[in-house]
Amino acid sequence: MIKQQAVNSKFKLDLILKITQAINENLSVEDLLKQYEDILFNELKIGKIVVFKFNSTWEKLLISGVTNGTINNIKIENDLAKHDEITYISTDFPEHLRIFDFLIPVFHKKSVLAYILIGDLDEEMEGMSPAIKHLAFIQTISNIIIVAMENKRMHKQLLVQEAIKKEMELASKIQNLLIPNQNALPQNQFISTQGYYQPHFEIGGDYYDFINFNDQELGFCIGDVSGKGIPAALIMSNFQATLRALFNPDTPLDELMNTLNQKVCESSSDEKFLTLFIGVYNYTTRKLRYVNASHHPPILYNYNTKETVQLKKGCIGLGMLDEIPMVSVGEVTIKDHSKLLCFTDGLVELEVGDKMEVGMQLISSLFSNNKNLRDTFLDLTRHIELGKKNKAVVDDISLFGIEFKA
């Protein structure tokens, strides 16, 4: 008897060693399953084996000794989930489970990772049933194998997440190079400027830019792609390259808008479109020519008259239709001591229930005052930072301002 127990112990230790070596050799999940099935079916003589494993949803990981059709009626939540220890499948169980003898739950960090159903192939066999004789050992090797598979899955998932994170970091760095930083914004005897850019995710679909055409003319724009994240960022980065190639003071703005619309339609899907405000300012004549393509109207404020004007003239958003029906080019003469604020809708939609709300009225009150542009931007960004703290930021936010000197 003692000798037989020693033989059995060595036999089981050899099997555990075999499993451990397979895990250390970093075998695939498929190869680990084959070893597991071979040990249960051939070494331990377990005739029926079904393994359900949780991986976002419950899936059949292994079926051996029974047909797939015989277990289609098994419902994890109703039939198995209430059992948290090895359970003998008695006549109290549903009929479709009675072809098995035992239910073995597998835990990992106090959560059920798998359910294993085992049974003997020959119900009339003499002596102790293999399912009973090896029950504790089956639970042990099942835990080893299933947890090893879960660790492999989590490691693979971690590698994928790390790769995505690195790609996102690189994309974010590239996009930040496309957005002018404060040191690169135009500052001269005619104007001073301020900018702010905050994507909702690591990268986003907002964009603003300045182009010094010559000593007399400045081009600028702000745009917003529908949607967020990578798809919006890809469209916007492509649009920036197109705009930079086409935007010049000699091309009429209505002609430019039709060309840009064509390019957006070619490069984006049907559900994606882009709002844009684009302008050309002449330092000498103080005239600003602009087109507003369904963008939030920029606010123009004059310190002396206390007058606030919204720049609305333009057309539909780019990519909304194959052809723009009509483009209206706006023109305004900028008075001395004026400032202009351009922004994307993330600033207007900065709200969560009744915690915080930044609508047009508040934006206008923060901007339409006699504070200089730098102090005005401090007020605006202070509200944005408060919104981020209160989890009120629900979209990309970009804004830039121009202060027109006397």
Asked which of 12-16, 247-251, 395-399 is least confident by mean pLDDT, the reply is: 12-16
Backbone φ, ψ for residue 22 (5° rounding): -60, -40
The residue that leads in pLDDT, 246 or 205, is 246
For every residue of 65-112, DSSP letters joined together read SS-GGGGTT--IIIIITT--S-EE--TTS-GGGTT-SEEEEEEETTEE
pLDDT of residue 293: 96
* Local confidence band at 190 (pLDDT 50, 70, 90 cut-offs): very high
CA distance 13 to 19: 10
Compute the average pLDDT of residues 103-113. 84
**Average pLDDT rounded to a whole number, residues 133-151:** 82
CB-based burial, 349-358: b 16+ in 10 Å, e otherwise: bbbeeeebeb
Helix (H, G, I), strand (E, B) or coil at 338: strand
Q: What is the mean predicted confidence (pLDDT) over 98-122?
A: 84
Question: Contact at 8 Å (CB) between 401 and 343?
Answer: no
Q: Residues 317, 276: contact at Cβ < 8 Å? A: yes
Higher per-residue confidence, 286 vs 379 = 286
Write the CATH number of the domain with boundaries 1-153. 3.30.450.40
DSSP 42: I
Which of 215, 305, 217, 291 minimizes the C-alpha distance to 260? 291
Q: SS3 of 242, please?
A: helix
- Which tens digit of pLDDT belongs to each residue from 1-37? 444 444 466 777 777 777 777 777 777 778 888 888 8
CATH superfamily to which 178-404 belongs? PPM-type phosphatase domain (3.60.40.10)
User: What residues contact 259, with CB distance under 8 A and at least 6 apart?
Assistant: 246
pLDDT of residue 397: 82
Residue 122: its pLDDT value, please?
56
Q: Taking the CA of residue 99 as centre, how many other CA atoms within 13 Å lie in the half-sphere pointing to its CB?
A: 15
* Amino acid type, 146: I
Per-residue pLDDT tens digits for 46-88: 888 888 988 878 888 888 888 877 788 888 888 888 888 889 9
Taking residues 130-134, what's their average pLDDT?
74
- 348 exposure class (CB count in 10 Å sphere: 0-12, 13-18, 19+): middle
- CA 106 – CA 125 distance, rounded (Å): 28
Instruction: Read off the pLDDT band of 176 (50, 70, 90).
Output: low
**pLDDT above 50 for 295:** yes
Task: Give the whole-number percent of the chain exceeding pLDDT 70.
Answer: 83
Q: Which H helix or E strand runs over 253?
A: helix 253-267
Among left, alpha and beta (phi > 0; psi -120 to 50; other), residue 306 is left
pLDDT reported for residue 284:
95
- Residue 30 has a pLDDT of 82
Q: Is the pLDDT of residue 394 over 60?
A: no
Whether 400 contacts 193, CB under 8 Å: yes
When pLDDT is cut at 50, 70 and 90, the band that residue 172 belongs to is: low
Which pLDDT value is given to residue 182?
A: 79
Beta pairing, strands 287-293 & 314-315: parallel
CB 313 within 8 A of CB 328: yes
> In this predicted model, what pLDDT tens digit does every residue of 297-351 receive, in sequence order?
999 999 999 999 999 999 999 999 999 999 999 999 999 999 999 998 877 765 5
Q: Where are the domains of the chain?
A: 1-153, 178-404
**338: exposed, middle or buried (C-beta count within 10 Å: 0-12, 13-18, 19+)?**
buried
- Cα–Cα distance for residue pair 17/327, rounded to 1 Å: 77
Average per-residue pLDDT in the chain?
A: 83
State mean pLDDT over 213-233.
85
Q: Region 102-117: what's the mean pLDDT?
A: 86
| Token couple for 303 | 């310190």
Q: Do domains 1-153 and 178-404 have the same CATH topology?
A: no
